[in-house]
Structure 1
Amino acid sequence: MSSLMPYKMIVRLSVLLAVFQGPTHAISIAQLRQMGQPLTEVSCRPDRFPTLQLAGFCAQISELHTRCGDRHASRSSADCGHVEGSFCCYLSRMQGNVVLDQDAFSALMHPKVQQTEAVTSDVAVPPAPAAQNEVVPSQVAPVVQAELAPSTEAPTVAAESPPATDTPTESPPPPAPVVQLTVDPNPPCDSVNDCPDAGMTCSGGRCACWSQQGPQATNVWSCSDDSKCRRMFPGHVCRPTKLCETLANTVGFCQPEGSIKQ
């Protein structure tokens, strides 16, 4: 019996350790705070929801408890290099993030280079002026032959035409065409930084107002000052919108501080 006691104690100790440790992939907030490494601001796609519309940023384990909740963190995709301790800190779907379909996700992860085509205008090219020794027919006065009067009156002599000049008079150039510039309400984009207004987001390769993403997303991204944006979306500020509708008691929407649209 005494020889079996150490074996039983080892088995019980192993069971207790397995119970308290839990799954190896679960990381608590206390464990996150014990590991201190600097934050790496690199955009990433989380493995948990790789087709989210808004990308997150690479973060070390020690930063997750301050930059995002443990439910809004995932092992990063290849963007973070699969470094041990690197996570993708992303905005949850409850806060306005949207899961993209497969086509939009493929376009976002592998954007195509847009080729700019030359735009031809309908401006009329004025004709080249005539040569110096060429007489323009329209500028030569016609010869007027006077009719002969009755014999009682003196005959009328034919009027002489003025001498033609060798140098023609150049016609004035045609007026310049009036070009009407229109703003594309949904310009193409690769990210929210490409959109021309603070009230827009990049969805499916096109800029669109937050109001088109639904009332919940509009409410999440609406703001009246910078404090809400900095609290919910680090690195974002509140800016007014000129092209999109705003909610009551708000002035604009949160947008990245590095891409401010005045």
Structure 2
Amino acid sequence: MPPLDLSIGLGTSGLDDPRTCTDTVATALETGYRHVDTAQMYDNEAAVGAGIAESDVDRDDVVVATKVHPENLAPDDVRETARESLDRLGLDRVDLLYVHWPIRAYDAERTLPAFDDLREAGLADHVGVSNFTPELLREADEILDAPIAAHQVECHPRFRQPELRALADEFDHDLVGYSPLGRGEILGDPAIAEIAARNDLSPAVVALAWAVDRGIVPIPKARGDHVRENLRAVDVDPPDADLDAVDALDSGDRQIDPDDAAWNR
């Protein structure tokens, strides 16, 4: 199977309008993104797939990731709904298939072998997990036949996830950070604003550049001009002192919780 090459990606949570979602994905790919993230929970896999199809970027150059809904984590449901995701995406495989949350129907001993089955069948090149605790991550690593390719979690300057970042190094997988702007809260942070002004950058680019420098793969969601602006994060190099100042913002301020009604769709 091809190696997983994750760079800054386009997050699509909240892109509910099909036309907007399709246009945003196509624009992102044409702008230079090569990593698109969706999920069964987002109800937009068909629109994401349409955006991939409408772009001129070769499919093999794009890492496409989706996630299995927590209600679909019984073994037979994993196999069935993953195929349904492929149908909606218009693809014969995804590069990365995640367990979205280890809750509801999740049972490590029963769920994870179904993901291995999909990988062995060629329907998913790599298996990932999302929102796992360190203990659940270690358990999954022991059960899965293939190495965990990525762990997707909330990660931003106010919630830096140092333990999970260390485990990503230990297990040699990518740590993918969703909500890398803290649902927009980071953009109004005075320290981020000061660093942005000093380096002639937007606050969003400062936060994303910090993530890239710290070995995190951010997947910001964006529309319009923000799609192109966010991609600047891979090319800028703020001074180490400024990045260290961003580190100091960590307050354990998590924005996403599995009990949040937004995740109960």
TM-score, normalising length: structure 2: 0.22
Which one has more relative contact order, counting CA pairs under 8 Å at least 6 apart?
2
* Structure with the largest fraction of helix: 2
Which one has a bigger Cα radius of gyration?
A: 1
In the superposition, the TM-score normalised over structure 1's length comes to 0.22
